[in-house]
Copies of this chain bind each other. A is one copy, B any other.
Amino acid sequence: MSTSRLVKCLNSNQHIVRSFGSRSTPSSPTPDFIGEYKEPIVKTKTIPGPESKALSEKLNKVQDPRAAHFFADYANSRGNYIADVDGNVLLDLYCQIASIPIGYNNPELIKAAKSDKWISAIINRPSLGVLPPKDWPELIQNSFMQVAPKGLHQVFTAMCGSCANECAYKAVFMHYQHIQRNGAPFTEEDLQSCMKNQVPGSPELSILSFKKGFHGRTFGTLSTTRSKAIHKLDIPAFNWPAATFPDLIYPLEQNEKKNRDIENKCLQEVEHLIKTWPIKVAGLIVEPIQAEGGDNHATPYFFQGLRDITKKYGVAMIVDEVQTGMGATGKFWAHEHWNLSSPPDIVTFSKKMQAAGFYHNIEFRPSESYRNFNTWMGDPLRALELEVVIEQIKKNHLLDNVTITGDYLKNGLFDISNKYPGVLSKIRGDGTFLAIDLPTAAERDAIIAAIRLKGVEMGVCGDKSIRFRPMLICKPNHIDQFLNRFDQTLNELKKN
């Protein structure tokens, strides 16, 4: 089937039904989003439509527009639906790369944004480390600490996910060297050599990450990112080690023994790298689910093994919850599913939290101030936003909603998989943090393009996966809209 034929045949947005298959749509404790669209609206024959294309040309004169799907009309977006400049309204299952928690134009956020507290935070942007606002300690309690991972009691605030991880690595290196020195002060040689980027002041130390992992785009984090070449080409990198992440065999229930062997082999590789890598490993970073790299999962057994190995060798364990955190797996943190023997040393976050940073305990606070520091040290506005988001998650039972919606979506994907044998594989994930594989990247990309023209905005990951990253307010009725359109899309694909 040619993609152009597929696109043509999908240009008419017909035959949308209101429920999927024979399953009844489950109810959710979460109230409906007031003023939300009832379903997607597709008005143009292509997306991007003519207005988006004109804006892209205009943007091109001052900024790179090539990655844009279309130009959004945020004022007209509502809840789970994103509007574009051509009058289209799409059900958004990608959500700004997994970064919208409680819906476009959420009325509670609008109300809060008009408050004096928010306005002051917006226009009087502080250097938080130097001149914190008077309500900062209380705001930390009412936002970050409301959802602090069990066992972690301090929070370092930052501006984005990459910076959260960069600052976490710095905390890890400072802590590691502090232990090496037995707490002794810096020597004159330390002070002088670091100014030349030389040992011992600038030590040769590494962070171990996993192949296919993604941890950011800055030089430290990019040295641990191993998702795709396009992220890394031409950029100098540290000689840091990467271990193999388990590539589990699906369905999991039928492959428990084989998968245990796979995970054991990966754990052995981690231990081997820690023992033999020429540059001492000070920290290990891992995503609970490798997102950019293809929604790769491992079992709690694997992560328990990582915690044990890192403890054994004095390697700090950093869990990167930038994409998995804040409820998408049905718990606030994906690592809550693991039942570790002791908490991770550091948990990093951003995206749906709106505010970025990392949780830690006091031993990862540097020996002196100004060591892990920068001008803004985060943004109080985003902590205020987080405060509202957490309130809404609790009040509207959004974690329960995620579990119900996720189960319904997963079952629907299995139904569709049975209907079209050999098309979908590796249906996987927790909560609504789900993914499926298509036979090839080309087929996957054709489906994404085709279903966009039926009114669903989706994202990809890995080589041939579709990833689901709906908002926490995505309910089973929204999933019906997706499943029907997905069914249609595959049906039309089959015919071609």
Contacts and interface: CB of A to CB of B under 8 A. Distances in A.
Nearest to A109: B123
A370 B230 contact: yes
Given A97-B130, A99-B127, A223-B197, A63 B156 contact: yes
A162 B157 CA distance: 15
Contact of A190 (B61, B157, B160, B233): B233
A217 B97 contact: no
A123 B71 contact: no
A415 B234 CA distance: 54
A229 to B, nearest CB: 4
A140 B65 CA distance: 13
Given A68-B132, A132-B72, A136-B59, A97 B127 contact: yes
Interface stretch (A17-25, A371-379, A485-493): A371-379
A381 B369 CA distance: 30
B163 A219 contact: no
A218 B123 contact: no
B132 A71 contact: yes
Contacts of A354: 125
A127 B96 contact: yes
A205 interface: yes
A100 to B, nearest CB: 8
- Copy tally for this chain in the complex stands at 2
B169 A219 contact: yes
Interface string A358-383: 00000001101111111110000100
Interface string A102-124: 00111001100110101111111
Contacts of A196: 242
Interface of A: 51, 55, 58-59, 61-75, 77, 82, 85, 96-97, 99-100, 104-106, 109-110, 113-114, 116, 118-127, 129-134, 136-138, 140-141, 144-145, 153-157, 159-163, 166-167, 169-170, 173-174, 176-178, 186, 190-192, 194-198, 201-206, 211, 216-221, 223, 226, 229-240, 242, 350-351, 354, 365-366, 368-376, 381, 385
Contacts of A371: 230-231, 233
A232 B194 contact: yes
B133 A174 contact: no
Nearest to A85: B134
A140 B67 contact: no
B96 A64 contact: no
26 contacts: A61-B137, A63-B157, A64-B129, A65-B132, A66-B368, A67-B373, A68-B130, A68-B132, A71-B134, A74-B120, A109-B122, A110-B119, A110-B123, A123-B385, A125-B354, A160-B375, A160-B376, A170-B217, A173-B235, A195-B232, A197-B240, A201-B233, A202-B236, A218-B218, A218-B220, A351-B375
